[in-house]
Structure 1
């Protein structure tokens, strides 16, 4: 894992920016965790960011707070992302996020097995971010 990815993996929250077909950016604050050479994001599937990643792998990332507020002059990074819906990939991201966020994440996911059985519940997916590089400020 390069230094840029390592830095992002250490952040509590990261603004993940995906791009519409028009090129318009859409930013979302996310939890992110390093795992091997990848950065992993857990998400609900079939939402805007997973749909946008279906047509472009381009993403940008910046450190932020829980509300998505980016500190002025925060570094901006570019990367490539893909959505992995495989059960093993979802288990992988849950382990990585659990290792990083500890009891807080486990507390939030305690009821998840029950909620997953409810009608209309969207499955989880993994966003795998690779090839992270620092963009010019």
Structure 2
């Protein structure tokens, strides 16, 4: 059974799959935070997943373990690379959800990479394949 929005939002890790030009799937485990019926992830600005999302916003997402092993079905979604303000917002959401560890990683990344070294991504689930538990 496909995970609900709430299951994805409360997961410690999600498996975000982007697609190469030849449609080859490229899965990546990431931390996730949620607000206003959207999921948010945070990644390196120059990563290939960001380049793939900019080219093709279609993605899939699933609950997974730390090493990316899926824990159930995937759902279709679309992703949007955020600007500076949105990225700052995502950093705050990640730091809040993951506590001291999240805060330390966000601050450490800012020191190491600067503000433009990482970027936020908003993920909107396709209405046809997931529901809220509310």
TM-score range, shorter chain: 0.7 to 0.9
> 2:108 — aligned with what?
111
Higher-Rg member (1/2): 1
Moved over 4 A (4+): none
On the 8 A contact 2:60/2:77 being kept in 1, the answer is yes
Distance (whole Å) between structure 2 residues aligned to residue 113 and residue 45 of structure 1: 12
1:100 aligns with 2:97: yes
Distance (whole Å) between structure 2 residues aligned to residue 60 and residue 79 of structure 1: 5
Count of equivalent residues: 127
Q: Structure 1 unaligned runs (5+)?
A: none
- Superposed displacement of residue 75, structure 1: 1.9
Distance (whole Å) between structure 1 residues aligned to residue 125 and residue 74 of structure 2: 14
Quote the RMSD (CA, aligned, Å).
Answer: 2.0
> 2:88 — aligned with what?
91
TM-score, length of structure 2 as denominator length: 0.85
Q: Structure 2 unaligned runs (5+)?
A: none
- Superposed displacement of residue 79, structure 1: 0.4
Distance (whole Å) between structure 2 residues aligned to residue 61 and residue 45 of structure 1: 20
- Superposed displacement of residue 122, structure 1: 6.0
TM-score, length of structure 1 as denominator length: 0.83
SS at 1:29 equivalent: strand
